[in-house]
Structure 1
Amino acid sequence: MSTREASSQDEPVIEGMDDLTAPMRGGEKPKADWRIGTEHEKLVYKRLDAGGDRRAPSYDEPCGIRDLLMGLRKFGWEPIEEIGPDGKANVIALKGEDGAVSLEPAGQLELSGAPLETLHETCNETGRHLAQVKEVGEKCGVGYLGLGMWPDKTREELPVMPKGRYKIMMNHMPKVGNLGLDMMLRTCTIQVNLDYSSETDMVKKFRVGLALQPLATALFANSPFTEGKPNGYLSYRSHIWSDTDPHRTGMLPFVFEDGFGYERWAEYMLDVPMYFVFRDGKYIDAAGLSFRDFMDGKLSVLPGERPTASDWWDHLSTAFPEVRLKSFLEMRGADGGPWGRICALPAFWVGLLYDQGALDAAWDRVKGWSMEEREKLRNDAPKLGLQAPLPGGGTMQDLGREVLEIARKGLSARARLNVSGDNETGFLEELDEIVSSGKVPAQRLLDAYYGEWDEDVSQVYRYSF
């Protein structure tokens, strides 16, 4: 989730639709300037072999989350502080050449990578980050799990990081859904952020991204355990989003309607209830209030004030649909996973969306589906994975073969080579193996659980980074 650094009180206020669509219009870039931004989260735990008990460390204990962040300074990362709910200045993120390292609500560690030109650079960045956190973790007896969800922790066993927006969100979540606190405290994801050249280009990429998000969910499904037992899902993380907050999640039927564009997205965001307003280094609770009222100077917690561009940017970060638009498009359907899958997710989407021929072919494949069929795929994917049935016949596994071939052609056409002369198609190999076998990562974990692990989920810690 986003990390805020400065107040916005001195900025001009938002006057109307032109100001509301400015972030989206400002994101337009010529194809030569398109970049790849990859975000990935990991679960942090105290290692048994270092005298720990596999619990999630708190923020301020010795060798806790704060000390991990501070330990990363040796690699050139600079701390970002925030006044927490306790009134203290806390280091809650880091910034550097590789983007930002930040904290999810229960201490899940996230890299929000820098905007990079090629997948080779993306995978190198991922490798640097994992090497850095492992080096710091070794000194603190800390390990990291690449899963979509804590396999063995209850909500009550998890710490909460001292970030103001998280306190507000945690208070609000139980009022609007049953699983929002699980989303915040127990899940991890991989995301990729991608550019567009125009409103028309954005619309087509948004539609392809939404339609194929269930396939990404299936391919990366990696959260089959809850509190030590199988939970009946392959991606429980994805299922959690279906009962988090209906006002800010989902498949967004209006994206497929005629006339969708920047203004329609802005109208949607105006109807998403607020969480907060950031003033003087602190978050003010505005949960459930209306941004439209804020535009009219009628926000009860800031009477008479009207929003600035920074307030709108903050609000744009508080919707959580399967694809999200800010000044770029975020693909949000994948569970967390190990290094190879962190590299594979951007390869999947870049191959489909950054070559016009591939984008056209992907849209041709999915444009005939009805909204009901898209919703069914989204609901089936977390449980059935690649065996989810497709509209018109076949399974998600069949779709995976077709779509990976489209992505491969798109990456070949990009012709971005590394120093050895290899293009970017190699980053799809892990997904090729998943589709060929028909077994998503969660199914392999379940096979091990019922086999060699003898129904002992603690064996999953063998898969630490």
Structure 2
Amino acid sequence: MARDTSDTTPLTTRDELIAWFAAGEKPRTRFAIGTEHEKIPFYRAGHQPVPYDGEHGIRALLEGLARRTGWEAIEDAGHVIGLADAEGGAISLEPGGQFELSGAPLPDIHATVAELHAHLDAVAALADPIGIGFLDLGMSPKWTRAETPVMPKSRYRIMAAYMPKVGTLGLDMMLRTATVQVNLDFSSEADMAAKMRVALALQPIATALFANSPFTDGRPNGFLSRRSEIWRHTDPDRTGMLPQAFEEGFGYETYVDWLLDMPMYFVKRGETYHDVSGASFRDLMAGRLAALPGEYATVSDWANHASTAFPEVRLKRFIEMRGADVGGPAMIAAQSAFWVGLLYDNTALADAGALVRDWHATDRESLRATVPRLGLAAMVAGRSVGTVAAEALTIARRGLAARARRDEAGRDETVYLQPLEAIIASGRSLAEEHLAAFERSWQRSVEPAFRDCTF
């Protein structure tokens, strides 16, 4: 997220919080696709992480991109920490220097792919001459947490201080992981609820398909998606599978109540982030925050608070899929294709709902716990994840074909599912392919990852 929301309109009632989510509803004709991805920068000479400062650092890269693209620089206490495009796109920094593109809302996957390649070309034009590359792995494979640089972003300092109080791996999540996310629209509260349930149930299936973080500290870590496992040990108050989404009557009100009970990180006033970690949004609405007595909640506060919830599927004024490790460009496109195919066609959405309808809460929680280590070999309700994934892909393919969105060559969006279909055919995720290379051609070293696993 490059820029915090800026809207000082007061919020005084719970109904206003509910209405904030309802305002995200769109007619189906205006449904869009937003794709976000993070990539881990490194110096090609020596395979070291890239610091913020310095002639060839992250700040220099951002400033060069601003000059090249014309995007507006976003600053925090005098530090450039992101760029914003007038069309809705943004570039931001994750805590460990992960370079993130938050794509603009676009009408189809063909457009998101064009956006992705334009971004990668612009970044490469500046990064290549100064010897910076970018890993397409879901976790940095070599550097320890202590060796990872920390970006000068005020909200991250507050989060970093709070994370060890509520979980054991929150700092690893912040500093050493990279993901790809897809943001999709909903037309009504009922449409939102149906999409949230399907997306939450199938999120571990996506985790298995996109598993791509098998190395930590220079060696195999025992997981196919260590990034996903790290999230299980980050902060139970704001992560997980949202079991309440599967209860009868789930809607905006249920999600609002969950957020009201979720501890806050910060309140921003002007350019200052005030640490209120652990405090209640209810107290802010009542003007009772101990750290900011007499301050009351605004729309900005609510939007920023909603952005600090990290369930496997997040509701904002759109629905955000959060379960996948990042991969290369084809895998980033495949992530969008998978979810658009499942959720944007009504027949596909109904079929996907039927696929997961008989799963119980214990099935979903067990699946979430076992997939990071076992991937496609994990089991759910007596079936392998690989089998369920194959069926989900078939449904997604039908959904994309029904959309019939074609590029200039006449291809519809099903073309972007090909990497996932290859994974199903082989039975091996990217993580498993990398582990096999580690044992053979990489000669039990992660150094070749800086050659083979890059954008």
The TM-score with structure 1 as length reference comes to: 0.96
1:55 is matched with 48
Q: Structure 2: 5+ residue runs without aligned partners? A: none
Greater displacement, 279-288 / 441-450: 279-288
Contact 1:223 1:234 in 2 (8 A): yes
Query: Could you say what secondary structure the match of 2:383 adopts?
Result: coil
| Counterpart in the other structure of 1:42 | 39
2:342 touches 2:396 (CA, 8 Å); kept in 1?
A: yes
Q: Is 2:174 the counterpart of 1:177? A: no
Question: Which position in structure 1 is the counterpart of 2:418?
Answer: 429
What is aligned with 2:437? 448
Structure 1 residue 18: Cα displacement: 2.0
Show the counterpart of 2:206: 216
Q: What is the aligned-residue identity percentage?
A: 52
Tell me the alpha carbon deviations over residues 312-364 of structure 1, each in whole angstroms, 9 at most, x when there is no partner.
00000001000000100000000011010010000000000000000000001
Shift of 1:131: 0.9
Tell me how far 1:82 sits from its aligned partner: 3.0
Cα-Cα RMSD: 1.1
Aligned residue for 1:230? 220
What is the alpha-carbon distance in structure 1 between the residues aligned to residue 397 and residue 312 of structure 2? 23
The Cα shift of 1:130 comes to 0.9
Question: Structure 1: how far apart are the matches of 2:388 and 2:291?
Answer: 49
Distance 1:341 1:23 in 2: 33
- Separation in structure 2 between the aligned mates of residue 79 and residue 172 of structure 1, nearest angstrom: 31
2:184 corresponds in structure 1 to: 194
* 1:287-436 aligned within 5 A: 287-391=277-381, 393-436=382-425
> How far apart are the structure 2 equivalents of 1:202 and 1:299?
32
CA contact (8 A) 2:41 2:134 kept: yes
CA displacement at 1:2 relative to structure 2: 4.7
1:148 and 1:235 in contact (8 A); partners too: yes
Deviation at 1:80, TM superposition (A): 3.0
Instruction: Give the direction of change, closer, same or farther, for the CA distance of 1:302–1:98 in structure 2 (3 Å limit).
Output: closer
Q: Distance in 2 between matches of 1:225 and 1:157?
A: 16
Q: 1:19 aligns with which of 10, 16, 20?
A: 16
Once the two structures are TM-superposed, the CA of residue 259 in structure 1 deviates from its matched residue by: 1.2
1:68 aligns with 2:82: no
Q: Once the two structures are superposed, what CA deviation does each residue of 1:358-394 show, in whole Å capped at 9, x if it has no partner?
A: 0000001101100000011111111111011120x22
CA separation of 1:371/1:2 partners in 2, compared to 1, >3 Å: closer, same or farther? farther
**Pairwise mapping of residues 90-129 of structure 1 onto structure 2 (< 5 A)?**
90-96=79-85, 97=87, 99-129=89-119
Equivalent residue of 1:402, what SS? Answer: helix
- Deviation per CA, 1:219-243: give whole Å up to 9, x if none: 0000000100100000000000000
Structure 1 counterpart of 2:454: 464
- What SS is found at the alignment partner of 1:156? coil
Structure 1: runs of 5+ lacking an equivalent = none
Once the two structures are superposed, residues 38-82 of structure 1 have per-residue CA deviations (whole angstroms, 9 ceiling, x without a partner) of 00000001111xxxx221111111110000001112432423333
2:126 paired residue number: 136
Deviations 1:256-287 (A, max 9, x none): 00111001100000011000011111211111
Cα separation, 2, equivalents of 1:441 and 1:314: 34
Aligned length: 453
SS in 2 for 1:3: coil
Counterpart of 2:389, as a letter, is G
Q: SS at 2:39's partner residue?
A: strand
Distance 2:364 2:328 in 1: 28
Is the aligned partner of 1:3 residue 2:12? no
Q: Write out per-residue CA displacement over residues 130-150 of structure 1, whole angstroms, 9 at most, x where no aligned residue.
A: 111111101221000001000
Q: Contact (CA 8 Å) 1:5, 1:82: kept in 2 or not?
A: no
CA contact (8 A) 2:2 2:91 kept: no
Asked if 2 retains the 8 angstrom alpha-carbon contact of 1:192 and 1:332, the reply is yes
Secondary structure of 1:266 counterpart: helix
Counterpart amino acid of 1:327?
R
1:186-237 deviation digits (Å, cap 9, x = unpaired)? 0000000000000000000000000000000000000000100100000000
Q: TM-score, normalised on structure 2?
A: 0.98
Take 1:249 and 1:237, find their aligned partners in 2: how far apart are those partners? 13
